[in-house]
Amino acid sequence: MRLDNKEIFKTLNPNKVWVPVAIGLGIVFLMFYLDPKVNAQTLKGVFDASVGGVLLALLFILMRDAGYVYRIRKITDEKLTWVRAIYVIILWEFASAVTPSIVGGTAVAVFILHKEGIKLGKALAFVMLTAILDNLFFVIGAPIILYLAKGHIFPDTRMMELRLGTSIQYLFWISYSLYAIYTIVMSAALFYRPRVFKWILMKIFSIKWIRKWKSNANDYGNQIIEASETFKDKNYKYWLSVVGATVFIWSARYLMLNALISAYKSVDMFGHIIIFARQIIMWIVMMVSPTPGSSGTAEFFFAQFFAEFLPGYTFVTSILWRLLSYYPYLILGAIFLPKWIRQVFFKKGNRKNK
């Protein structure tokens, strides 16, 4: 993998926080203007939330972030200290918040780990593993939660119908299939037959009209082979810890919204299952969003998925949800990034000069 510092720092730029903020605020104001049910009195409803429910939501956020920090330490064989792991996660979350979800922040994550002293090949392997684990949670968990939701996972609203005549269910299953195929292929390449994967890749890129990218495909195949070597000797304790951390992280991520909704309205156990399940669909919608950090997309679709649980409080809950789960990472990233640059580039450079 070739890391272009200039391109990386175009993403890791504190000034980029204004783009998702502007998009998010624009969509919120548009929703406020177009929805006759939303007024000044509705906005005051934000204070009707129970303190216990909001505190529980905050606790789930902290649990999720603690899970991320723990997982990255375990995945890297504790090459990172707790403090350095916190820096890595904050900057990784910041990069995800300022780039479109459909693009992702793989290159940035590899760059951050590499600058923290991890060899480039291993940094790529660790980032690939986190992506595979996250996708596996969705690929395996989605059918289970769909079964538990008993057909109530897709909201019954015309707003969710696509203009081409297909439905959100169709989009979900297409997206799910693509994620499943990608995860199976990359898992097989990384853990089972990396050299076979490279051979197939080279055959594909030998086709005349895509032959110009054959060199890049060869480099990528070599990186997969190198990355696969990283995980050959890992024992069951390693895999139990990283898989368990992944389940913990995503459960905490989703349960945060369950807690926030229950801060406004009482929800029974089956209702909580549906809320949890619908967030899987929301995740797919947000993953294909072209806006940075799904700004605007998340706020708009929130109402379509969860309005039935929040009569009179949908608008304010969507704002509070994003204020708690998204915007803090923009602020933290803008604060921590300059400190990280000084620590990684200047202090290490001074030590080498000495």
How are the residues of the chain apportioned to helix, strand and coil, as percentages rounded to the nearest 5? 80, 0, 20
Query: What's the pLDDT tens digit per position in 88-113?
Result: 999 999 888 887 766 566 778 888 99
In this prediction, residues 302-318 reach a mean pLDDT of: 85
Question: SS3 string of 199-217?
Answer: HHHHHHCCCHHHHHHHHHH
Torsion, CA 168, CA 170, CA 173, CA 179, rounded to 10: -80
Q: Is 39 exposed, middle or buried (0-12, 13-18, 19+ CB in 10 A)?
A: exposed
pLDDT in tens, 119-173: 888 898 899 899 899 989 888 888 888 788 777 777 765 555 544 444 667 777 8
Residue 105: what residue type? Answer: G
Q: How many CA within 13 A on the CB side of residue 175?
A: 20
Q: Tell me how many degrees the CA angle 339-344-345 measures, rounded to the nearest 5.
A: 100
Given a cut of 80, whether residue 249 has pLDDT beyond it is yes
DSSP notation for 118-162: --HHHHHHHHHHHHHHHHHHHHHHHHHHHHHHTT-SS---GGGS-
Mean pLDDT for 116-121 is: 88
Query: What's the pTM value of the predicted model, to 2 decimals?
Result: 0.86
Q: For residue 230, which of 78, 311, 85, 119 has the smallest C-alpha distance?
A: 119
